[in-house]
Amino acid sequence: MVPIRIIIVDDHPIVREGFRRILARSPEFDVIGEAGDGLVALDLCRQLTPDVVLLDIDLPGLDGIALTRQLQTSCTPPRVIVFSGHESEDYLRQALDAGARGYFLKGDEVAELRQAVNMVMDGRYFFSRRLQGEVVRLFMNGPDQPAQKENGYDRLTQREKQVFLLMLEGLGNQQIAEKLCISSRTLEKHRASVFAKLEVSNPVEMVRYALRHGIIDPRTWGRDH
């Protein structure tokens, strides 16, 4: 089995060393690099193209949210797991809006870190158990929608539903295009149509829509089974 290639980004060497030691205990993980600065990390990721990037929010040079957003513009964007001491809904929202697939809290169990990496590599999302309340509030407590409003999901074509569900699984544009055997331009048209019909404009609103309409289960989404 090919190991999952990981880069660790934190401005504290002792934190990076701790994560490296944890991940080194399993042969399925390969820490290929580390950085203590957001700009340095961006350059390193472009050079090494990791599968997963573990990064802190509070970074010098380029903060973790901005770094996550920049990483999503690459041809093969890595799956980003934010690790932070911030438990607020606002930080969680910012991380997801930027494209993060996981949010791991410092102080979580060691096994949770390994689980987080495996889950995002499997196309799912991961959230610390301590954030489950924030996750549900974030996605369920958005602006109310009129009860009589037509369910936009029912208006999606079969192909648009496939795109929507793959986006919910956390796949990137290139991965979705390859999986469905369509061009990037065709995928962009489907994405635009999905967002227009569902009246959403970002990943947070997309997931909120799916939760509210029973397309995904808030009790299990973002957790391993």
Could you tell me where in the chain the CATH 3.40.50.2300 domains are found? Answer: 4-139
Reported as a pLDDT band with limits 50, 70 and 90, residue 88 is: confident
Reported as a pLDDT band with limits 50, 70 and 90, residue 146 is: very low
What average pLDDT does the segment 53-66 reach? 95
Q: CB-based burial of residue 143 (10 Å sphere; 0-12 exposed, 13-18 middle, 19+ buried)?
A: exposed
pLDDT for the residue 45: 96
Instruction: Kindly give the residue spans of alpha helices, DSSP state H, lying in the chain.
Output: 13-24, 38-48, 64-71, 89-98, 110-121, 132-140, 158-168, 173-180, 184-198, 203-212
Q: Which residue, 141, 162, 155, 158, is CA-closest to 212?
A: 141
At residue 61, does pLDDT exceed 90?
A: yes
Residues of the chain above pLDDT 90, percent: 47
Q: Which residue, 48, 6, 47, is CA-closest to 26?
A: 6
Could you tell me where in the chain the CATH 1.10.10.10 domains are found? Answer: 152-212
CATH number among 3.40.50.620, 3.90.480.10, 1.10.10.10, 3.40.640.10, domain 152-212: 1.10.10.10
Look up the pTM and report it: 0.70
| Check whether domain 4-139 has CATH 3.40.50.20, yes or no | no
pLDDT, tens digit, 9 for 90 and up, residues 12-54: 999 999 999 999 999 999 999 999 999 999 999 999 999 999 9
At residue 106, does pLDDT exceed 90?
A: no
pLDDT for the residue 139: 60
